[in-house]
Amino acid sequence: MQIRKSWKMHIVLCCLLLAMLLAITACSAPQAEEASSPAQTATPAPEPSAEATTPAASSAPTQGTEDAEAEMLTDFTARQAAHAQADKEIAGEFAAEEYTPESPLVIPDPYGESPLTAMVLFQTPEPTSAEITVKGKDDATSISHEFNKSVTEHRLPVYGLYADTLNEVAIILKSEDGTTTEHTVSIQTAALPGDISKAEVRTAQPEKMADGLTFFDCPHLNGNYALAVDANGDIRWYLTDKNLNFGMNMSFMENGNFIVGSGNVQPGGYNNLQSVIELSPLGKFVREYEIYSLHHDVREKSNGNLIMAASMEGRESQNDYIVEVDRQTGEILDSWDLMEILPMSVFDTQPPYSGGLNNWLHNNGLWYIEEEDALLISGRHQNLVAKIDAKTKELIWAFSQTVGELNEEMRPYLLEPADGEFEYPTSQHAPMLLPDGRLMLFDNRNQMETPEDGAELDQELLYSRAVIYSIDEENQTIAQDWQFGKERQDLYSSFASDVDYLGENHYMIDFGGMYVKEDGTHYDHLFTPPEIKFASSRTSVVVELLNDEIVFEVLLYGNENSNSSKAERHVIYQNAQEITLG
């Protein structure tokens, strides 16, 4: 077995050299030939190419400062080119020698981006299919995947290694006549970074938990890593570049890839970005999407196109625009201007937030309803959830306790509470439609009244919750069916946070925006003086419920910011195929 140990340093050196070449090219290019991009025009990233070390002539930079544009294009283009060069060299090395299942070519972290992954490459004399298992500390934490295609040249991705461990990876090969052989590969990994978050599992019933790892992203000013933990709380995947965990919730694509923020901040935006990046679990850069002032959420349609929360260039307000982007070209195919769609006349931030027109809506959530061609949005600064006809771009209904007070035009669209226990959400996140048509969201429950300067919030009033509502569109009513969190004041989460559907009566809730003092006092990010707020622990708690029983609860802590805007259970080998190099 041959193991390439210096691959990460090789990638870093390639990136540095390519960045230097790009900088020299940029400095020597005539000013008259610089491209400028029209408003709201997306620029697709160049396709991976070992020869492509500079942006294509048609790749115009997005809006922002010139320095930010150059940095963005250089970073993505250089790293994508380095990844393509790595593919080329791996392919060359694989072709140059005969590697067998007993003595394969093993390349840990092949792109220098995802340290707990690897490639295993070998040939077999006849076509075989492969099943791979990264052995866990117990049966519940082993990670397996079967590649159904029979081939003679195998390029297997390995996901979910333990850090600082000589990992055992079992590979079972099955020939077309049904004969099987088993082989073991050992892969050593480095220790975790010292500043990465830790996970403390409070409850775990693996036999009742949904399959997969629990992924956390923390896309605020955090200095943290995107990471995933198993049922024991062990980190089994993370990205080395903290910039890929900033400004955008991590989104999982049907092909197994991720959409992450680029870290290239849009000047003047609310932690907004100039671009997002599609990458594989191995960390290979696939494509960059350059859209003006991206933020919060990306959703994938069944045709692969992406719906993104964005902003409209050239006006004062932000976080109130949505675009549909062609997955392959990056071209904007459609857009929804929420300032025009929502029948409002007063575009002013509502309590408990303040800020006027600039961030009047703060659309922090998107959900696409494919069968209805409709959108759900969440306007945190209006305490508003709304459903929009994506084709006609007309409002179907709205749900808010406050938006109708100053906007009479909205009142005909507002859902009215039905009989029974009911609470309106405030500063909510993560609206989604359940398979049975009900609405689920995370209700942060920010307090509507500002306490006196220096005063702590009344701890007995603080709670956050996941909540499910039934909506009768014909009669324009809404009823509260279920909630979790009101009874757990220790889970108060004043910002960010997430909910997910895992199956019938099976949910995962991310209480991701917690500021907690050592004595258990919770702080609200709105009303707490910064010197107190940032001295407290910034943590997240994820709770998995099955039939109202807690089957998994984990605390993320230890980093200076272990808040998470989104946590999801995800099978890391989703739709995984053997690797295609190049």
Show me where the domains of the chain are located.
1-96, 98-191, 198-451+460-570
Same CATH topology for 98-191 and 198-451+460-570: the answer is: no
- Other beta carbons within 10 Å of 47: 12
Torsion sign over Cα 133, 136, 139, 140: negative
Can you say whether the dihedral through the CA atoms of 282, 288, 289, 292 is positive or negative? Answer: positive
Task: Specify whether the CB–CB gap between 292 and 39 falls below 8 A.
Answer: yes
What is the distance between the alpha carbons of residues 347 and 526, in angstroms, rounded to a whole number?
20
User: 559 and 196 in contact (C-beta within 8 Å)?
Assistant: yes
Candidates 524, 543, 382, 515; CA nearest to 462 is 524
Instruction: Return the closest-CA partner of residue 385 out of 402, 372, 371, 373.
Output: 402
> CA angle, corner 465, sides to 459 and 468, nearest 5?
155
Helix (H, G, I), strand (E, B) or coil at 62: coil
173 closest CA partner among 142, 152, 143: 152
At 142 the pLDDT is: 98
What integer pLDDT is reported at residue 18 of this predicted model? 45
Integer Cα distance of 53 and 85 in angstroms: 10
Q: In this predicted structure, what is the pLDDT of residue 453?
A: 59
What is the distance between the alpha carbons of residues 38 and 27, in angstroms, rounded to a whole number?
A: 23
From 23, 224, 226, select the one nearest 113 (Cα to Cα): 226
For residue 295, the model assigns a pLDDT of 92
Q: 477-484 and 416-417 as β-strands: parallel, antiparallel, unpaired?
A: parallel
Whole-prediction pTM: 0.88
Radius of gyration of the chain (CA): 24
Domain 198-451+460-570 sits in CATH at 2.120.10.80
Strand partners, 429: 442
Domain 98-191 listed as CATH 1.10.3720.10: no
Token pair for 140: 């519940």
Helix-helix angle 66-96:7-28, to 10 degrees: 140
- Residue 457: DSSP 8-state: P
* pLDDT computed for residue 454 by the predictor: 53
pLDDT at 535: 82
Amino acid occupying residue 27: C
At residue 569, what is the residue type?
Answer: R
Mean pLDDT, contiguous 10-residue spans, the chain (582 residues): 57 48 38 31 34 25 35 70 96 97 98 98 98 97 96 98 98 96 98 96 98 87 84 97 85 95 85 92 96 94 97 94 97 98 92 85 97 97 97 98 92 94 95 98 83 67 95 97 96 95 98 91 82 86 98 93 93 94 86
pLDDT at 356 (0 to 100): 86
Q: What is the pLDDT of residue 247?
A: 75
Place of tokens 């671009």: 275
What 3-state DSSP class applies to 291? strand
Tokens of residue 101, six digits:
């299942």
- The whole-number pLDDT of residue 26 equals 38
Q: What is the pLDDT of residue 220?
A: 60
